[in-house]
Amino acid sequence: MTTSSGSQAKPARVLGIADAVTIGAGAMIGAGVFAVFAPAAASAGAWLPVALLVAAVVAYCNATSSARLAAVHPESGGTYVYGRERLGELWGYLAGWAFVVGKIASCAAMALTFAAYALPGWERPVAIGAVLALTALNYRGVRTSARITRFLLAAVLAVLAAAVVAAAASGRADAAELSLAGDWPGSFGLFGAAGMLFFAFAGYARIATLGGEVRDPATTIPRAITIALAGVLAVYLLVGGAVLMVLGRDRLATSSAPLADAMAAAGWPALVPVVAVGAALASLGALLSLVLGVSRTVQAMAADRHLPRYLAAIHPRFGVPHRAEVAVGIVVALLVAAVDLREAIGFSAFGVLVYYTIANASALRLGPEENRPPLLVPVVGLAGCVVLAFSLPLTSVISGAAVLAVGAAVWLVRARWASPAR
């Protein structure tokens, strides 16, 4: 893949398995684990554990398909590359478009969540400052970003572990809350909750989009995705179970800060500010990884002239797509100044599910000699993504579909305009 930087425009392969796992887990264990259980409980009610399981199954299928594809196509860009190579240029473009617009919205959500915990009342200026600071950090290279992400992830895991232990030791956790007994929430309730919970799993895409910057990608990427996803699933099960047992389904569904409320209900008020710090750090770590991944897809699309060619450049010293990173940072900062947090999350979830729909469809085109996954994996992943996407709130579905339609229209106009010159 060429860029405007000439012979020096090659991403630096500096990331090992530990770095890739850290980036993926850091993107997954973000603001979602501190907030997503509340809206999911409101949608699924007593079936919240089942919704979590559904989200985990779809995430596993997506991770497996992505890992097999990344091993065959070890380039930065993720499903943008896979869709282009396996399904055709339009599908690759739509995957990249869905990823970029969905994850830019997710970046805005992470920044706003960080600011809400870090300095309530000054959310927007603090969020904009965080976006600009992390953009500058990513500009220095992925190795620096991986080190910072590792520190943030360790701190957040320590906070979550303390919260789970405190809830279990409080004597106020009721295991009966984990029972599936209760009113059936309907298919839209169950799958809509799973779609929101899937939003909290989606960070493993960061690993695949770094395909051009990891050592031995055929081995590193599949292992890193599997390790990161399994670890995060275990964390979510422990945290979600602890919060559910302490607060109960009804109180959890109305909570704006489930972990903080759980610590107060469990008789550990001293841990409430600790949880707030953990939530702020988690959001910051997720934002760091998200900006990192989105900028790589922007660079890949720009190199193929689907976005302005100017954004394809690789920094000659740091080996990063510096112009794409700056552009993404500016757009996220503008969104932070304009969007609502819940709307950003719903829109992002829709875009990510479309992205993985194309990933699973691409995996179906792998041949036997390419270590393709068992047929059931991409089929379940594809069907699951479609069902979850269209079970999200109607406003998220409409806005997401409209933005995808605009992207498709731009591609078609561009293709028709360029065809006489071919």
Query: Encoding tokens for residue 330?
Result: 């500016």
Higher pLDDT pick, 156 / 257: 156
Cα distances from 31 to residues 6, 332, 395, 406, in angstroms, run 39, 16, 22, 29
Query: Encoding tokens for residue 290?
Result: 């998200």
Q: Point out the least confidently predicted range of 156-160, 303-307, 322-326, 353-357.
A: 303-307
Is 44 within a domain? yes
By the 8 A CB rule, do 336 and 112 touch?
Answer: yes
Question: What percent of the chain stands above pLDDT 70?
Answer: 86
> Could you give the dihedral angle defined by the CA atoms of residues 60, 63, 68 and 70, in that order, rounded to the nearest 10 degrees?
180
CA 240 vs. chain centroid, Å, equals: 19
By the 8 A CB rule, do 254 and 155 touch?
Answer: no
CB neighbourhood size of 412 (10 A): 11
Say what the pLDDT of residue 354 is: 94
Q: How far apart are CA 221 and CA 204, in angstroms?
A: 10
pLDDT of residue 12 exceeding 70: no
Helices and strands per DSSP (H, E), number in the chain: 17, 0
- The CATH number linked to 114 is 1.20.1740.10
Say what the pLDDT of residue 2 is: 38
Q: How far apart are CA 191 and CA 384, in angstroms?
A: 9
Say what the pLDDT of residue 219 is: 73
- Which of 73, 20, 27, 63 is closest to 226 using CA atoms? 63
Q: How far apart are CA 320 and CA 304, in angstroms?
A: 17
Q: How far apart are CA 169 and CA 200, in angstroms?
A: 26
pLDDT band at residue 422 under the 50/70/90 scheme: very low
- Domain interval for residue 186: 8-415
Mean pLDDT of the chain: 81
Q: How many domains does the chain have?
A: 1
Query: Encoding tokens for residue 304?
Result: 């193929």
The predicted model gives 155-170 an average pLDDT of: 90
Is 372 within a domain? yes
3-state secondary structure of 76: strand
Say what the pLDDT of residue 114 is: 80
pLDDT of residue 261 exceeding 90: no
**Can you give the three-state secondary structure of 317-346, one letter per residue?**
CCCCCHHHHHHHHHHHHHHHCCCCHHHHHH
The predicted model gives 357-377 an average pLDDT of: 90
pLDDT in tens, 190-213: 999 899 888 778 766 666 666 566
Is 270 within a domain? yes
Q: How far apart are CA 77 and CA 82, in angstroms?
A: 8
Is 2 within a domain? no
Say what the pLDDT of residue 53 is: 87
What helix, strand, coil percent values describe the chain, rounded to 5? 80, 0, 20
pLDDT in tens, 270-305: 998 999 888 888 887 778 777 777 787 787 778 777
The predicted model gives 365-369 an average pLDDT of: 87
Is 299 within a domain? yes
Say what the pLDDT of residue 309 is: 76
Q: Give the position of tokens 């009721």.
A: 174
CB neighbourhood size of 40 (10 A): 30
The predicted model gives 342-367 an average pLDDT of: 89
By the 8 A CB rule, do 76 and 20 touch?
Answer: no
The predicted model gives 90-115 an average pLDDT of: 85
By the 8 A CB rule, do 251 and 42 touch?
Answer: no
Say what the pLDDT of residue 137 is: 74
- Which of 73, 114, 80 is closest to 100 using CA atoms? 80
pLDDT of residue 215 exceeding 90: no
Residues pairing with 214 in the sheet: 15
Is 422 within a domain? no
Is 1 within a domain? no
Say what the pLDDT of residue 281 is: 80
Q: What region, left, alpha or beta, does residue 340 occupy, with left being phi > 0 and alpha being psi -120 to 50 degrees?
A: beta
State the DSSP string of 357-385.
Answer: HHHHHHHTT--GGGTPPPTHHHHHHHHHH
pLDDT in tens, 72-82: 887 766 787 89
Alpha-helix residue ranges (DSSP H) falling in 170-257: 186-201, 205-209, 217-253
By the 8 A CB rule, do 259 and 243 touch?
Answer: yes
By the 8 A CB rule, do 193 and 290 touch?
Answer: no
Is 420 within a domain? no
The predicted model gives 241-250 an average pLDDT of: 88
